[in-house]
Amino acid sequence: MASLIITPKTKIYDLLEAYPELEDILISSAPEFKKLKNPVLRKTIARITSIGQAATVGGLDVQDLVNRLREKVGQGNIDQLDDTGSKYVTICPAWFKEESVVNTIDTNEMLNRGEHPVHVVLAAIKELGENEILEIIASFIPAPLLDKTLSLEYKHWIDKKSEKEFRIYFMK
């Protein structure tokens, strides 16, 4: 029945709808993927997160993860994948100043209510004035959001506070 071709751009939700047996492989690949058991996160985050983005969140090699998933469903290996793991800023940039933070959004609270934070965050970034910074609190690296802000050429910095707390700062 499942004829989905697995690539780095495949959405996690679509992957698990087509191949539910791959859930255990994802969860065993990285502790962060245990969140897939949460029905709310499964319906929200998994719909917009690609395998490539999920690999980045889990600190995994994109190609290795895609090939492992493909192998389990009888698809051949992909040899050349785009490198998606090195574009996020994790070292404090010169533009960051604590006193420039004008707004904070806790995405965890929104996700727990079943809301999707991407549009709220993008709207908040658009409202920023010159040299103003938006702070996002998240329990994981929000790769889909970061990819969207990169495409819009917003600046960002990911400050990893702990395994379960990330502060992401955005500036126009």
Vertex 41, ends 12 and 128: CA angle to 5°? 100
Q: Is residue 158 part of a domain?
A: yes
Rounded Cα distance between 58 and 152, Å, is 24
Is the pLDDT at 87 greater than 80, yes or no? no
Q: What is the pLDDT of residue 148?
A: 85
Is the pLDDT at 171 greater than 70, yes or no? yes
Q: What is the pLDDT of residue 32?
A: 82
Residue 134 host element (H or E): strand 133-138
Domain shared by 51 and 110, yes or no = no
Give how far Cα 62 sits from Cα of 3, 37, 115, 123, Å. 21, 22, 28, 30
Residue carrying the six token digits 């785009």:
82
CATH value at residue 163 = 3.30.110
User: pTM score, two decimals?
Assistant: 0.59
Q: Is residue 109 part of a domain?
A: yes
Domain shared by 103 and 68, yes or no = no
Each residue's pLDDT tens digit, 97-155: 999 999 999 998 888 787 888 889 999 999 999 999 999 999 888 877 888 888 888 99
Is the pLDDT at 83 greater than 50, yes or no? no
Split at pLDDT 50, 70, 90, the class of 81 is very low
Domain hosting residue 54, numbered range: 12-72
Supply 68's token pair: 């492992």
Number of domains in the chain: 2
Q: Is residue 156 part of a domain?
A: yes
Domain shared by 109 and 61, yes or no = no
Q: What is the pLDDT of residue 100?
A: 97
Domain shared by 102 and 164, yes or no = yes
Q: Is residue 5 part of a domain?
A: no
Split at pLDDT 50, 70, 90, the class of 79 is low
Give how far Cα 56 sits from Cα of 25, 101, 111, 139, 143, Å. 16, 26, 20, 14, 7
Total length of the chain: 172
Each residue's pLDDT tens digit, 11-57: 999 999 999 999 999 999 988 888 888 888 888 889 999 998 998 88
Q: What is the mean pLDDT of residues 146-167?
A: 88
